[in-house]
Amino acid sequence: MTGTNDHAAIGGAPRALVTGGAGFVGSHLCDALLDRGFEVICLDDLSSGTRSNVAGALGSPRFRLIEADVSAAADLDEPLDLVVHLAFPRVGDWVDAPLPALGSISAGTLRALDLARAAGARFVLGSTSEIAGDAASDTGDPREPYLLARRLSESLVATARARYGLDTTIVRIFPTYGPRMRPGGALGSMIEQARRGSPLMLTGTGAAPFPLCFVSDVVRGILAAADSPLPGPVEIGDPAPLPLAVVAQRVLALTGSRSTLGFLEAPGSAVPPRVADTTLAEKVLGWRPRVGLDEGLALTLDALEWRAGLAPAV
């Protein structure tokens, strides 16, 4: 891994800081780092992450959970080999409180960069697929201030690399699913509707691509980027998504539900899903998804116990 410091060089276990480490992707990343032999510091204010996500890791003497906002983590002064910054509000969370969220995005990224710079650590920014592709401003999109703030985070990382020589990379994470994912969202709603026996309501005709990448593949991509000198941005996600209706049919088959499919007219403001361009990840990192949809859905359903209690179709 690039960016190692004296802490690792003298024979101690390498140490990683994961901001937002009690969240969905972050908690799986903490587990993977522990499996690699790292000492892991999970920094999370638990505003969206949960202690239950890291319940297994809490039993390890090499894991520590610090309940704090990353922007307020001024007293964290210890050796680090790797900093992975994942502490961001989701778009839906941002809509309810935009000004605090905007401030936390920029302040949190700056603080995480400061921690990596002070320690001489490799820095990985977990960015979002929402800003991939055409990044032109759309003043009619209510998400635009959030997206601008996420673009700012990428700019801050690129500037820190150019100005201070900080060892950084940017990973744009595309839609991810698996155990510990938060309720709601398109996939979560489909599974819940199947469990209740109510129609699975799909937006549009169901022909639109529905990108989904299993969380273990996403974590493997983040670690591959951390291990490389690649500055990014590199896109980690599903490069060949199935149509939405096909995914819905897979959900029905795996749950054993007798629900039917229903269709809703897509709103005029609907944003088409972005599909990951994994060319760079494949060529430079040797990364591509390994977990197929049926396997990933089965693992998700088993972990969340959503197979149980299926209601008859109504």
Which residues are part of the catalytic machinery? 146
User: CA torsion, points 279, 282, 287, 288, in degrees to nearest 10?
Assistant: 60
Which among 32, 119, 41, 42 is positioned nearest to 80, based on CA atoms?
119
C-alpha 259: how far from its chain's center?
30
In Å, the largest CA–CA distance within the chain is: 65
* Contact between residue 7 and residue 233 where contact means Cβ atoms under 8 Å apart: no
Q: What per-residue string of b and e applies to 132-166 under the rule 16 or more CB within 10 Å gives b?
A: beeeeeeeeeebeebbebbbebbebbbebbeeeeb
Name residue, tokens 């795996």.
Answer: 254
Query: Is 294 exposed, middle or buried, given 0-12, 13-18 or 19+ CB atoms closer than 10 A?
Result: exposed
- The number of beta carbons lying within 10 Å of the beta carbon of residue 17 is 28
